[in-house]
Amino acid sequence: MTAAGRKAKAGGEKGTGRKAEAGGEKGTGRKAEAGGKTGTGRKAEPGEKADTGKSRSRKRAHRRGKEGKVMGRFNQARAPIYEALEEFRQERIVPFDVPGHKRGRGNPELVSLLGQQCVGIDVNSMRSLDNLCHPVSVIREAEEMAAEAFGSAYAFLMVGGTTSSVQSMILSATKKGDKIILPRNVHRSVINALVLNGAIPIYVNPDMDSKLGIALGMKVSQVERTIKEHPDAVAVLVNNPTYYGICSDLKSIVRMAHAHGMKVLVDEAHGTHFYFGDKMPLSAMEAGADMAAVSMHKSGGSLTQSSFLLTGISMNPGYVRQIINLTQTTSASYLLLASLDISRRNLALRGKKEFAKVTALAEYAREELNRIGGYYAYNSELVNGDSIFDLDKTKLTVNTLGIGLAGIEVYDLLRDEYDIQMELGDIANVLAYISIGDRERDMERLIGAMTEIKRKYRRDNAGMYTQEYIEPRVAVSPQSAFYAEKESLPLMETRGRVCSEFVMCYPPGIPILAPGEEITEEILEYIVYAKEKGCSMTGPEDPGIERLNVLREQWAI
């Protein structure tokens, strides 16, 4: 059927044979709810879901249920972008548009790498496939279905990684000179956003667990104090959870921030499964946050670089879309969009069961690894109702200092000697990301390898570093520092100067130094130690980190 032919069917059935639902079909033919208002009080745009009392009660129903299948108004078994692409495959349209490989014909090597199935749907926006910058049909429908599945007022499909979700969230809530309260152990994308728009970070310095060498969540009392000291701040950003699975008391933080007129933005890069699994930590949308950046490609199973930006009823989706479009590509990949659509469907239908399996696998591995001795795979015994308000049990983080090896050393051994790729190795821990694709036999392999590593490589652990987080002293805003006049100095001659660039181990991508921070002896020692241990370090203009860019002398402290 041609696109024009399908269009004529608007209001009726889609080409997949699916029946129109009573009360107006979704997708191309769906009607805007008459006179409906969005959460911001403005009139709903055509095709936009109005935030009526009815839609709020649907959201509540979803929050109670979580069982998938048909949730609320949408049939979650559908995947509109995927369905449109399947139809498109049958249509044999002659491509005089981009991409120039023309369904792979112009690039056989690409086809042999990725397969015809894949390159055949690597297409650009067109009428039947909608347009991510201004979605009105299948993408819009996929976004609304995702919003329902996640229990948010709106959900944006994102193709620039969770980096773009985080940045869009911050650029939507803050502007030049605005203060934003945040923990310092944030991902680089957060501080990058502040470089872009000139907002000012007010850091809540998290406590460290000195034995484990990891930064913890934000204490409610720390946030309260910071809000009192900076009542003019416009937003609070929270990690839910941190890379290591640690959650703050999000609900209390939301309550407190909202009471002071501040928005709450949540980096949920590692929290997709919170929305679908049972007995998981509270998700941002359940806690009443205003926005959340969710890495569907991490625990949600979609293709790398695909992500969701969720918004609550307090946000104006039209404005957020404008912000997203400031930096978003105008040629969004349909591979990524379809993968988001299919993965949302998968989690809505099967997430609860799948994540129960993931948790069980991680629990099993923890028990076995702790039985080996020397390793410490930590669990809910850490929960203290405050700086570790809750713990994501799907994360398998193992402290390795008890066998005298840095986490990064165990990470390297696992890769080089046992062909096992871990998610991250830092100074004190290795982290396995357990997700819906993991198998018991692979877990046995990891446990076997860790047993052997202890037997073959164990050392005395005297003199090992544990500290991962060093409290920064912010001298200049990230934006001013990044764009200031600077000079390049040998690393060890930078003490006392103000850094104008990032230095971090990746992963986890949490800056050791961010633009505008003072370089101290302690930080330099840490950088040298991390380099020696073989951490993969990024950020500075000099990739070898022999030199650092610092602000010119007149900025010295």
**Distance in Å, CB of 163 to ligand PLP, minimum:** 3
Give dist(CA 268, CA 300) in Å, integer: 12
β pairing state of 263-268 and 235-239:
parallel
Residue 474 β-bridge partners: 517
**Distance in Å, CB of 220 to ligand PLP, minimum:** 21
Q: Give the pair of three-digit tokens for residue 277.
A: 């699994």
Between residues 104 and 160, which has the closer beta carbon with respect to ligand PLP?
160
Give dist(CA 323, CA 167) in Å, integer: 9
Binding residues among 468-497 for ligand PLP as defined by CB under 6 A: none
For CA atoms 437, 336, 142, 308, give the dihedral sign: positive
**Contacts with ligand PLP, 167-196, as mask; x by CB under 6 A:** --------------------x-x-------
Binding segment (CB under 6 A) for ligand PLP, from list 159-167, 204-212, 250-258, 328-336: 159-167
Binding segment (CB under 6 A) for ligand PLP, from list 30-38, 55-63, 76-84, 505-513: 505-513
- Give yes or no for residue 163 binding ligand PLP (CB under 6 A): yes
Give dist(CA 290, CA 508) in Å, integer: 25
Give dist(CA 58, CA 74) in Å, integer: 10
- Give yes or no for residue 509 binding ligand PLP (CB under 6 A): yes
Between residues 205 and 488, which has the closer beta carbon with respect to ligand PLP?
205
For CA atoms 294, 321, 145, 43, give the dihedral sign: positive
Query: Could you give the angle at the alpha carbon of 412 between the alpha carbons of 407 and 414, nearest 5°?
Result: 95
Could you give the 3-state DSSP secondary structure of residue 518?
Answer: strand
Q: Are 102 and 116 in contact (CB under 8 A)?
A: no
- The residue count for binding ligand PLP (CB under 6 A) is 15
**Distance in Å, CB of 55 to ligand PLP, minimum:** 29
* Spatial CA neighbour of 401 closest among 468, 446, 449: 468
**Distance in Å, CB of 267 to ligand PLP, minimum:** 5
- Give yes or no for residue 243 binding ligand PLP (CB under 6 A): yes
Give the residue, chosen from 295, 302, 400, 480, that forms a contact with ligand PLP under the rule CB under 6 A.
295
Give dist(CA 245, CA 424) in Å, integer: 13
**Distance in Å, CB of 150 to ligand PLP, minimum:** 17
- Give yes or no for residue 68 binding ligand PLP (CB under 6 A): no
**Distance in Å, CB of 551 to ligand PLP, minimum:** 27
Give dist(CA 73, CA 147) in Å, integer: 11
Give dist(CA 331, CA 553) in Å, integer: 44
Give dist(CA 412, CA 392) in Å, integer: 25
**Contacts with ligand PLP, 211-240, as mask; x by CB under 6 A:** ----------------------------x-
Which DSSP category does 531 fall into? H
* Spatial CA neighbour of 399 closest among 470, 469, 466, 471: 466
Q: Which single residue brings its beta carbon nearest to ligand PLP?
A: 161
Between residues 292 and 369, which has the closer beta carbon with respect to ligand PLP?
292
- Give yes or no for residue 267 binding ligand PLP (CB under 6 A): yes
**Distance in Å, CB of 327 to ligand PLP, minimum:** 13
Could you give the 3-state DSSP secondary structure of residue 308?
Answer: strand
**Distance in Å, CB of 219 to ligand PLP, minimum:** 19
* Spatial CA neighbour of 525 closest among 554, 548, 495: 495
Binding segment (CB under 6 A) for ligand PLP, from list 134-142, 162-170, 191-199, 458-466: 162-170
**Distance in Å, CB of 230 to ligand PLP, minimum:** 23
Give dist(CA 94, CA 279) in Å, integer: 50
**Contacts with ligand PLP, 109-148, as mask; x by CB under 6 A:** ----------------------------------------
Beta strands in 118-245 (DSSP E): 154-158, 179-183, 200-204, 208-209, 214-215, 235-239
**Distance in Å, CB of 304 to ligand PLP, minimum:** 8
Q: Give the pair of three-digit tokens for residue 507.
A: 């992963």
Give the residue, chosen from 139, 159, 166, 398, that forms a contact with ligand PLP under the rule CB under 6 A.
166
- Give yes or no for residue 511 binding ligand PLP (CB under 6 A): no
**Distance in Å, CB of 414 to ligand PLP, minimum:** 20
Residues in touch with ligand PLP (CB under 6 A)? 161-163, 166, 187, 189, 239, 243, 267, 269, 295, 307, 507-509
